[in-house]
A and B are shown apart, each in its own frame.
Chain A
Amino acid sequence: MNTTASKIGFNSAIAGALLAIASSNTLADSGPSTATQQRGLEISITAKQRDIGWVDSTSDMLMTLRNKQGQESTRAIKIKSLELLDDGDKSLTIFNKPRDVKGTAFLSFSHPVGNDDQWLYLPALKRVKRISSRNKSGPFMGSEFAFEDLSSFEIEKYSYNFIGEEKLNNMETYMIEQFPVDENSGYTRRIVWLDKVEYRVQKIDFYDRKNALLKTLTYQDYKQYLNKFWRADHAQMINHQSGKSTELHWKNYAFETGLKDTDFNRNTLKRVR
Chain B
Amino acid sequence: MGKFLTRLCVSILSFISIVAAFNIAANEFEVSGKVAIEQRYFPEIGQNNEQLSHRQSSVALEAEFFWGWNNGSDTLTFKPFYRFDEQDDERTHGDIRELSYIHASDDWEFRAGIRREFWGVTEFQHLVDVINQTDGVEDFDGEDKLGQLMVNFSIVKEWGIVDVFLLPGFRHREFTGQAGRLRAAFLVDDTNISYQSSAEQQHLDFALRWSHTLGDFDIGSYWFHGTNRDPYLTPTINTLVQGSEQFVLQQHYSQMDQFGVDVQATLADWLWKFEAIYRTDEFDDYWAMQGGFEYSFIGVFDSNADLGILLEYGWDSRGEGNIAATVQNDLFFGGRIAFNDMQSSEVLFGIGADLDHNAFSVLVEANRRFGENFKVNFDVRLFQSTDEKDALTTIKDDDHMQLSVEWYF
Contact = CB atoms under 8 A, between A and B. Distances in A.
A100 B375 contact: yes
Interface of A: 65, 67, 71, 73-74, 97-102, 115, 117, 125-127, 129-132, 134-135, 137-139, 141-142, 184, 186, 260, 262, 265-268, 271, 273
Nearest to B66: A273
A121 B141 CA distance: 21
Nearest to B211: A266
B342 A138 contact: no
Given A132-B269, A135-B296, A99 B409 contact: yes
Contacts of A130: 213, 218, 264, 266, 271
B167 to A, nearest CB: 16
Given A132-B269, A132-B271, A134-B298, A271 B104 contact: yes
Contacts of B120: 127
Nearest to A115: B268
Interface residues of B, number: 48
B369 A135 contact: no
Contacts of B218: 130
Interface of B: 28, 30, 32, 34, 66, 68, 72, 75, 102, 104, 106-107, 109, 116-118, 120-121, 143, 154, 156, 161, 211, 213, 218, 264, 266, 268-271, 296, 298-299, 304, 306, 340-344, 369, 372-373, 375, 406, 408-409
7 contacts: A100-B344, A100-B408, A127-B120, A138-B299, A262-B107, A271-B75, A273-B30
Secondary structure of the B contact surface, majority rule:
strand
Given A100-B373, A134-B296, A137-B299, 10 more contacts: A73-B343, A99-B34, A99-B372, A102-B408, A115-B268, A129-B121, A138-B306, A186-B299, A267-B154, A267-B161
A267 B143 CA distance: 22
The 8 residue pairs across chains A and B that have the minimum distance between CB atoms: A99-B408, A126-B118, A139-B340, A142-B342, A127-B118, A126-B116, A73-B342, A130-B218
Given A135-B306, A142-B340, A142-B342, A98 B372 contact: yes
Contact of B304 (A67, A100, A126, A138): A138
Contacts of B106: 260, 262
Contacts of B375: 100
A71 B342 contact: yes
B331 to A, nearest CB: 23
Given A67-B342, A99-B373, A271 B266 contact: no
A71 B6 CA distance: 48
A142 B343 contact: yes
B304 A139 contact: yes
Given A65-B342, A267-B109, A273-B66, A134 B117 contact: no
